[in-house]
Structure 1
Amino acid sequence: MENWLVKRAKLDPDKVALILEHADFTFKELNVCVQLFASKLFTSGIRKNDPVALFSDNCFNGYVAILALQQLGARTIILDTELSFDSLNYQIHDCKPKTILISDSASTKEIIKIDWSQTLISDVLSLNKSADYTPVSEFDNNQVAAILYTPNDNNDIGVMLTYGNFFFSAMGTSLNLGISKQDIWVLTMPLFNALGFSVIMRSLIYGIGVYLIDGFDINQINKVLINERATIISLTPPMLRDLLNTLPKGKSYNPKFRCVFLGYGSVDNWTILRCNMLDIPVLQSYGMTDTTSNIAALNFNDAEAKAGSCGQPFFTEQIRITDINQDNIGCIEVKSPTIAIGYLNKRQLYQSRFTKDGFFKTGDMGYLDEDNFLYLKGRKSELIYRGNKIIYPREIENIYRSINGIVDICIAGIDNNLEKQVPVAYIELKQNAYLSGATLEEFGRHNLIDYQVPTEFRLVEKIPKTTSGKILHTKLFEMKYKIL
């Protein structure tokens, strides 16, 4: 396909492409900025197929840098700005970039301690443009557009996503949501996140504007959704709960606002109820980094009738359930043109994720109802086997999240010789909230089946998560806690 940015600048030169707090850029203006920066990157020595790591927050320069690296045909590795030194160090030595391109606003973080070639974006901007630079004319569907790291049991995995992956992902999402040129997608998810990076790519494919917000600034996001022309926002369930908790009383989102596109896990019933009361449409979706973000989602017509579902598979996807257990829950497997082309330096692990007939094993559990709507029950590795019963932690978490005073909760299994495993609750409470273990146990007795009730309630200062909102179970088990 013709270079996406160049093509979009020709088709819609005067259409707004990027909105910042104090400035708008059309596709023509954005293209000019990107080509200038790409030329300066060329002067700095970056060439086609060079691996370049980008360490940036959600700033204009970081956004432009992503598009500029694409113009050069470089292989872009997107780094998580919130990672520890050890995790970043591992990722850098795993991907071995030609340099780490760092936005100045993110230059004070752990990345500067890593012994590797580093280049500040401001230093690139000070260079002269090159007379020899020309942007790549075409994007090859099989070319790696980005490498995004995702947590794994041992070491992080560099997931290699192609232009074809992103194109088919955009097509599936568009057919589901009915994207129009009038849509403006709020990007508050980090650029290094699959959900966030996908929005950048969709903007070029659809020709829609992106409202870029740095960090999860709750008050600013609510102001944008109330006062600006935003129509869609991607959020995780915890982010949505935080927004609702700070939404000014009596306020609602602007008349053109269409939906919260929810990723990374199912949302609790209480949050959905609050959204219904506030007339905020929520479309739950299902996907992962390996599948280039969403591969299934509710649409507007089914949102009410199929509440709790992740929707039907997109037109571009095949989803099936295998190894169905006693509860009629099984393993979710996918065949799709959005599946990553590989894992960086981990070919054997990548190949092990596929069945003989080419389906990708997601590691998630769920079921499809009679109308082919997908319901997610959780990660296979997180299920708890108590005697001859199977416990699905998300069901219990969903119930407990309705309690005022609980910020977040994670149900995990611990070994017990009598019953194999028993459920234990890790809880993060609001400031000045008081909930005793006896009260929480009593609540469980009234709202859950006996074998689902946690045997212990452990108070932690903060439940550890990735920047996309996924709970880090290994770190959770290492934390200090107090028995309620």
Structure 2
Amino acid sequence: MENWLVKRAKLDPDKIALILEHADFTFGELNSTVQLFASKLFSSGIRKNDPVALFSDNCFNGYIAILALQQVGARTIFLDTKLPATTLKYQLDDSKPKTILVSDSVDAVEISKLDHKLTLLSDILSLEPNTKYQPISEFDDNQVASIFYTPNVDDHDIGVVLSYGNYFFSAIGTGLNLGINKQDAWVLTLPIFNIPGFIIIMRSLIYGISVYLMDGFDTGHINKILINEHATIISLTPPLLRKLLNALPKGKQYNNKFRCVFLGTGLIDNWTLLRCNMLGIPVLQSYGMTETTSNISALNFNDAEIKAGSCSQPYFTEQVRITNINQDDIGRIEIKSPTVAVGYLNKQALYHSRFTEDGFFKTGDVGYLDEDNFLYLKGRLTDLIYSGDKTIYPEEVENIYRSVNGIDDICVVGTTEGDKQVPVAYLTLRENAFLTGNDLHEFGQHNLINYQVPREYRLISEFPKTTSGKILRNRLQHLSYTTI
């Protein structure tokens, strides 16, 4: 395929591509800016297929650097700005980048602790353009575009290798499902160094749509954009959606062109869905992971009401099946798709072990397909709690408890008691909330089956989370807590 940015600049040179707080860029202007930056990357010695690490927040220069690295043909290794130095060291030692680019706007305390040479984006900008530079003419389907690290159960992060073909088919599936058109404008507030945020940049090039670039999660500013501007779609996680709803001014509604909250990364509780329904905010739940280049299914507008709680039918580009079905009619989710990653960096044996003999990728998630082939997610296989002959799905229990006034967040995990597991709950409370373990146990008795009710309620100060807001369950056992 012809270079996506160059192609889009030819097709829609005057169409708004990027919207910042104080400036807009058309695709023509964006292309000119990116090509200048790319020529300076070329001057610094970066060439096609070079591994280049990028440590950046959602700033303008970071956005430009991402696109410029693609123009040179480099493989971008995305580094999470919230990770500790020890984790960053592992990822850098594993990926061995030729260069580490760091945004001037990011807090680089952790990465500066490492024994690696860092190059600020401003240092690249100070270089002279290279007259020999030419952008790559084509994006080959099999060409490696990026590497994202994702946590693994053994604490050794996995570098997920994604190609341009992965991104193209992911965009096609989402576009067919949502009916994306050039009047759409997507609000990008998720971190660009994670796949749910980065893929919005790719969708912009493929669809020809505008992107509102948000640096940080300022609920007041984001709500103002959604109320007063022509933003049509925003990608959020359930925790971020709850924050946005809590900050929405009373009596205000989003603009009349707003189409939906595109929701990913875990199950959403019924109370939050009800609030969105009362406020006239459509929520389209989706399902995907880094290894599937983000979403492989998402509710569309026609099914959002009648199939609430579902992640919808798989996209046209995807095959999904359920195997190893248990007594609850829940099984393991497996997929076959051109969006599945092309490898794990330096872990190809592990990568191949994730596939069945007939080519389906084992996601590690569990769920079921209903009679209409709509997918329902029940959680991660490794998170399930086995209480004798009963299976407890923690996210179901958590979503019931999130309706309790005073609970800020909650996570249910299993602990061994005799020859079985029992659920215990870690939670944080809102300011001035007063809840006892007896209160919470009584609530559970009235709203859950007996074996699902947590045996203990552990109050903590803060949850360990990914940048997108997902709780890191495997780190809870190391936290100090107070039993209430």
Q: TM-score, normalised by structure 2?
A: 0.99
- SS of aligned partner of 2:105: helix
1:289: Cα distance to partner? 0.3
Which string of whole-angstrom CA distances, capped at 9 and with x for unpartnered residues, describes residues 341-361 of structure 1? 000000011001000000000
1:128: Cα distance to partner? 0.3
1:118 counterpart residue number? 118
- Mark the runs of 5 or more structure 1 residues left unpaired by the alignment: none
1:99: Cα distance to partner? 1.1
1:30 counterpart residue number? 30
1:318 partner letter: Q
2:15 partner letter: K
Which string of whole-angstrom CA distances, capped at 9 and with x for unpartnered residues, describes residues 358-405 of structure 1? 000000000000000000000001110111111111111010000111
CA contact (8 A) 1:99 1:116 kept: no
2:343 counterpart residue number? 342
User: Separation in 2 of the partners of 1:168 and 1:387?
Assistant: 43
1:272 counterpart residue number? 273
1:219: Cα distance to partner? 1.1
1:120 partner letter: L
CA contact (8 A) 1:321 1:333 kept: yes
User: Separation in 2 of the partners of 1:50 and 1:122?
Assistant: 20
User: Separation in 2 of the partners of 1:341 and 1:254?
Assistant: 40
2:99 counterpart residue number? 99
- What are the residue-to-residue correspondences of 1:203-352 with 2, within 5 Å? 203-352=204-353
1:156 counterpart residue number? 157
1:367 partner letter: Y
Q: Does 1:21 align with 2:24?
A: no
User: Separation in 2 of the partners of 1:470 and 1:106?
Assistant: 22
1:72 partner letter: V
- Mark the runs of 5 or more structure 2 residues left unpaired by the alignment: none
CA contact (8 A) 2:81 2:108 kept: no
1:117: Cα distance to partner? 2.2
1:185 counterpart residue number? 186
CA contact (8 A) 1:50 1:98 kept: yes
1:118: Cα distance to partner? 1.2
Deviating more after overlay: 179-188 vs 460-469 = 460-469
1:438 counterpart residue number? 438
Q: Does 1:131 align with 2:136?
A: no
- SS of aligned partner of 2:328: coil
What is the percentage of aligned positions where both structures have the same residue? 72
CA contact (8 A) 2:364 2:380 kept: yes
2:279 partner letter: L
1:27 partner letter: F
Which string of whole-angstrom CA distances, capped at 9 and with x for unpartnered residues, describes residues 451-480 of structure 1? 110000000111111112221112111000
Aligned length: 483
Which string of whole-angstrom CA distances, capped at 9 and with x for unpartnered residues, describes residues 128-180 of structure 1? 00011000000000011110110001200110010000000000000110000
CA contact (8 A) 1:310 1:376 kept: yes
The structure-2 alpha-carbon separation of the partners of 1:107 and 1:466, relative to structure 1 and needing over 3 Å to count, comes to closer
Deviating more after overlay: 359-368 vs 147-156 = 147-156
User: Separation in 1 of the partners of 2:115 and 2:133?
Assistant: 30
Deviating more after overlay: 469-478 vs 324-333 = 469-478
User: Separation in 2 of the partners of 1:118 and 1:349?
Assistant: 31
1:324 partner letter: I
2:144 partner letter: V
User: Separation in 2 of the partners of 1:343 and 1:368?
Assistant: 28
1:108: Cα distance to partner? 3.3
- SS of aligned partner of 2:170: helix
Q: Does 1:201 align with 2:202?
A: yes
- SS of aligned partner of 1:253: coil
User: Separation in 2 of the partners of 1:320 and 1:468?
Assistant: 27
User: Separation in 1 of the partners of 2:163 and 2:250?
Assistant: 44
1:198 partner letter: I
1:359 counterpart residue number? 360
User: Separation in 1 of the partners of 2:435 and 2:246?
Assistant: 20
- What are the residue-to-residue correspondences of 1:378-397 with 2, within 5 Å? 378-397=379-398
Which string of whole-angstrom CA distances, capped at 9 and with x for unpartnered residues, describes residues 281-318 of structure 1? 00000000000000011000000000000111000000
User: Separation in 2 of the partners of 1:332 and 1:217?
Assistant: 35
1:79 counterpart residue number? 79
CA contact (8 A) 2:146 2:162 kept: yes
4+ residue stretches of structure 1 with deviation over 2 A? Answer: none
User: Separation in 2 of the partners of 1:270 and 1:165?
Assistant: 35
Q: TM-score, normalised by structure 1?
A: 0.99
CA contact (8 A) 2:260 2:282 kept: yes
CA contact (8 A) 1:179 1:206 kept: yes
1:107: Cα distance to partner? 4.9
2:296 partner letter: I
Which string of whole-angstrom CA distances, capped at 9 and with x for unpartnered residues, describes residues 405-440 of structure 1? 11110000001114x100000011111111000000
2:479 counterpart residue number? 479
CA contact (8 A) 1:266 1:310 kept: no
